[in-house]
């Protein structure tokens, strides 16, 4: 049995939904606020229901991190089971989850039994890191070894996407109110990236066709793609997703491009109807 227990939060996205149960990963729910209603992400409200509710609220949904108490109780439980803990979470520049986890971890004597890592990403990227950590723990790797594995992977993860609505970027202070109003009037669609854990506008495009061109160009920059995924908000591929897939399959024959639905955690940052690509870049070395 593994000596290291892996903990993450519900902004994570696993390509295999059964992964946490199979490898014993604990996923701590974030809280989603719709108006006055509060829901535990993944417990009271799944991704499909989140998107179904979204058009029916006048105010934008808000994501709240787990409390220090939640982390404290969870850490205490695992330490009583003689476990060491790797707690890896959504970027600290997108959420206070890491700060809450660190505050709880600092309260335990012999804090070296708990390692809290800022993933500097979210969603699919966070899922890939958690998968690697849990698989290493299952193989019997030490806490220090698993931390080195995860930190080494973080610098090879990339994500870009374009958004349809600017309201979420304004609310999360990625754009000023005047930029959002002007951008909406001009039909501008920001092209975004995650850099050092922060969502940053890179370029502006006027049409979804140009945005798709930018996504294809982004993939073209990599020589050794180890993992890649298309991120969309709906369950079924949209016309934009189908066009992007067609372009990618023509440009990169033989490369598999899975289409995944990004969850409520990322949706609260960038809004619905966005389209993006996640890439994990390998070294190009043969094993």
Total residue count of the chain as it appears in this document:
287
The β-bridge relationship of strands 26-28 and 157-162 is unpaired
79-109 pLDDT, tens digit each: 999 889 999 999 999 999 999 999 999 999 7
Within a domain: 267: yes
235 vs 241: CA distance, rounded Å: 11
In angstroms, rounded to a whole number, what is the distance separating the alpha carbons of residues 126 and 265? 12
> What is the domain range of residue 125?
4-30+65-154
Reply yes or no on whether the pLDDT at 286 is more than 50. no
The secondary structure of 249-283 as a DSSP string is: HHHSTT----EEE--HHHHHHH-SS-EEEEEEE--
- Of the candidates 107, 126, 154, which is a domain's last residue? 154
Residues 181 and 150 placed together within one structural domain of the fold:
no
Instruction: Examine the fold and report which residue of 90, 121, 154 is the final residue of a domain before the chain moves on.
Output: 154
Average pLDDT in the chain:
88
User: What is the tens place of the pLDDT at every residue in 203-228?
Assistant: 777 777 888 999 999 999 998 899 99
Residue 37 lies in a domain: no
Give the domain-ending residue among 136, 154, 172. Answer: 154
With a threshold of 0.85, does the pTM exceed it? yes
Neighbours of 52 (CB within 10 A): 11
């Amino acid at each position: 049995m593994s000596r290291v227990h892996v903990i993450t939060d519900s902004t994570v996205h696993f390509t295999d939904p059964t992964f946490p149960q199979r490898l014993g990963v604990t996923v701590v729910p974030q809280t989603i606020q719709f108006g006055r209603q509060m829901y535990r992400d993944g417990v009271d409200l799944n991704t499909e229901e989140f998107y179904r509710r979204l058009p029916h609220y006048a105010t934008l949904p808000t994501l709240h991190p787990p409390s220090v108490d939640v982390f404290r109780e969870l850490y205490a439980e695992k330490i009583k089971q003689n476990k060491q803990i790797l707690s890896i979470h959504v970027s600290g520049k997108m959420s206070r989850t890491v700060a809450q986890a660190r505050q709880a971890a600092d309260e335990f004597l012999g804090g070296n039994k708990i390692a809290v890592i800022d993933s500097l990403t979210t969603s699919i990227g966070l899922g890939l890191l958690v998968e690697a950590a849990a698989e290493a723990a299952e193989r019997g790797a030490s806490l220090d070894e698993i931390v080195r594995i995860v930190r080494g992977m973080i610098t090879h993860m990339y994500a870009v996407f374009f958004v349809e609505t600017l309201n979420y970027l304004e609310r999360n202070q990625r754009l000023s109110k005047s930029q959002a109003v002007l951008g909406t009037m001009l039909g501008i669609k920001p092209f975004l990236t995650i850099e050092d854990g922060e969502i940053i506008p890179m370029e502006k495009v006027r049409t979804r066709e140009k945005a798709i061109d930018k996504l294809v160009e982004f993939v073209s920059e990599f020589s050794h793609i180890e993992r890649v995924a298309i991120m969309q908000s709906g369950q079924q591929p949209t016309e934009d997703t189908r066009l992007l897939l067609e372009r990618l399959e023509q440009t990169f024959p033989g490369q598999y491009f899975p289409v995944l639905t990004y969850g409520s955690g990322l949706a609260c940052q960038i809004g619905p109807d966005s389209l993006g690509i996640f890439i994990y870049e390998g070294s190009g070395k043969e094993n």
